Chain A
Amino acid sequence: GAVVSQHPSRVICKSGTSVKIECRSLDFQATTMFWYRQFPKQSLMLMATSNEGSKATYEQGVEKDKFLINHASLTLSTLTVTSAHPEDSSFYICSARYGTGTYGYTFGSGTRLTVV
């Protein structure tokens, strides 16, 4: 249980184009989803928290207009990297909180973005 499906797993795009990454909760309702960015050999850095039906909360230093997050339903959150540049190349991974009381966090399988 508590599975999050993330697509695509890998994407290569040209500079200046936009890329959309989807995360779907398959067997539970994800009222809150988290988007992380991870550089090679480094830790996960939280980019933003999205709550279903409301605007995402971005961490300090994360450009809202570059990383558009939409959480329109209880099972789908999307991250769109707009006008991508090579420095946006990274591993992006989503996470959702599940359960009540002592709750946990389940993760998508990640998306490796390469901007050329």
Chain B
Amino acid sequence: AQKITQTQPGMFVQEKEAVTLDCTYDTSDQSYGLFWYKQPSSGEMIFLIYQGSYDEQNATEGRYSLNFQKARKSANLVISASQLGDSAMYFCAMREVLTGGGNKLTFGTGTQLKVEL
């Protein structure tokens, strides 16, 4: 079974600074996908960024970038120029392909990020 590990329960960052949220994963699959979602206090899950296991370049989406180190099985999220609105819970997730052709997302335990003035 796949496993996602987020070792930082909480992180603080000052406004306008960059912050890295850690994520490591464990899988025996060759083909997999890694996702980051943001969950503000209102509860909705907001998709941030995706990295495919065969993608050679690190994914970027605006202020978000994914530091993908395949050999280390890590997929850290980097948020540049933090804003107060970035304060939220952040989840790393992996797409798991099931026998029979189905799929599902497995989530890490999340990191609560707080951006301070």
Q: In the complex where A43-B110, A102-B52, A104-B35 touch, is A91 in contact with B43 (Cβ < 8 A)? A: yes
Q: Are A34 and B105 in contact (CB-based, < 8 A)?
A: yes
Query: How many angstroms between the C-alpha atoms of A106 and B107 in the bound complex?
Result: 14
Chain B residue at minimal CB-CB distance from A6: B44
Query: How many angstroms between the C-alpha atoms of A41 and B33 in the bound complex?
Result: 25
Number of interface residues of B (CB under 8 A): 22
Main DSSP-derived SS at the A contact region: strand
Q: Are B50 and A32 in contact (CB-based, < 8 A)?
A: no
Residues in B neighbouring A57, C-beta threshold 8 A: 102
Q: Are B102 and A105 in contact (CB-based, < 8 A)?
A: no
Interface residues of A in 63-84 (CB under 8 A from B): none
Q: Is B45 among interface residues, defined by CB-CB distance under 8 A? A: yes
Query: How many angstroms between the C-alpha atoms of A108 and B46 in the bound complex?
Result: 10
Q: Are A44 and B102 in contact (CB-based, < 8 A)?
A: no
The residue that B103 contacts in the complex, of A97, A107, A109, with Cβ under 8 A, is A97
Q: In the complex where A43-B110, A102-B33 touch, is A109 in contact with B105 (Cβ < 8 A)? A: no
Q: Are B43 and A93 in contact (CB-based, < 8 A)?
A: yes
Query: How many angstroms between the C-alpha atoms of A49 and B33 in the bound complex?
Result: 18
Question: How far is the CB of A73 from the nearest CB of chain B, in Å?
Answer: 19
Residues in A neighbouring B47, C-beta threshold 8 A: 104-107
Question: How far is the CB of B95 from the nearest CB of chain A, in Å?
Answer: 8
Q: Are A44 and B43 in contact (CB-based, < 8 A)?
A: no
Interface residues of B in 42-63 (CB under 8 A from A): 42-45, 47, 50, 52
Q: Are B45 and A95 in contact (CB-based, < 8 A)?
A: yes
Residues in B neighbouring A32, C-beta threshold 8 A: 102-103
Question: How far is the CB of B50 from the nearest CB of chain A, in Å?
Answer: 6
Q: In the complex where A107-B44, A110-B43 touch, is A102 in contact with B50 (Cβ < 8 A)? A: yes
Question: How far is the CB of A22 from the nearest CB of chain B, in Å?
Answer: 16
